[in-house]
Amino acid sequence: MNIFELEDYREIIRTRVRVLSATRKHYSLKMLAAKIPIQYTYFSKALNDPKTHLNEDHLFTVSRLLEFLPEEADYLFLLRSLATSQDPLRQKHLRAKIDRIQKAKKLSADVQTFQSSRLNLEMAYLFDPFCPIVHASLHITEFRDHPRRLCAILGITPARLKEILRKLSDLAFIELAEDRERVNQVLMGQIHYSADHPLMRANQTILRQLSAARVHMAPDEEKHSFMVTFSADSATFAGIKARYQDFIKDVEKLAGNASNHHTYQLNFDLFKWL
């Protein structure tokens, strides 16, 4: 229930009672009247008769009993003030204040909706390990012009590829042709989700599992694997991490200046056993 979409404080109270009574059987207008306290007949009239109003003390108690948030309670008081005011200038002032609150709440709701929708799209991307692989491969002219050639190479069906292309398009990473099966252009190049993204770790785990299977199948001339277990101290560990960051910067420069002919995967783990 978004009370900021309503402009009658009495309607908001009636609606809130209906919502709460659906899960809390003791909630009713009679219960509220007894707790205010106020005569039920007057309370009912105040919520239904345009010329009868609750006083501010009554409204304060009702907002507390119905568990409105502070900003929601303030909104109720504004609506009551507008409904009871006889001064045109004050009415205009209150109307403008209410409009500003409604506009701000609508903008906030729109942002939250967008963020929720965006997170759902990113979930679909990050939980599918083939999405970043297909995305990277579309930088190669052959596969950008003929995406279906990726199916045999990656071992995915045309239907799966079409779904991946849709995900990339929904995220505005690529622009699809009208048939939704060909790619006009790649709109976003390197995509990097930071470590504090809620789904980043899950994506890394899924992609590593697929990478491990690919490394096992790839011929020696198409891979380079290295593994070592060693003992050292914390300073050495920090030094290796720093050198790895320098190495990554070098890789980014090399890849950025390279022509796009193949798709590669680089994974690196450095961690402490004990």
Give the 3-state DSSP-derived string for 93-162, with helices as H, strands as E and coil as C.
HHHHHHHHHHHHHHHHHHHHHHHHHHHHHHHHHHCCCHHHHHHHHCCCHHHHHCCCHHHHHHCCCHHHHH
- Across all residues in the chain, what is the average pLDDT? 86
Structure tokens at 32: 């509220």
Q: What percentage of the chain reaches a pLDDT higher than 90?
A: 35
Q: What is the mean pLDDT of residues 105-132?
A: 72
**Residue 231, pLDDT score:** 94
Query: Dihedral angle at the C-alpha atoms of 166, 172, 174, 176, nearest 10 degrees?
Result: 50
* pTM greater than the 0.95 cutoff: no
**Residue 107, pLDDT score:** 67
Give me the residue spans of the domains in the chain: 3-116, 124-225
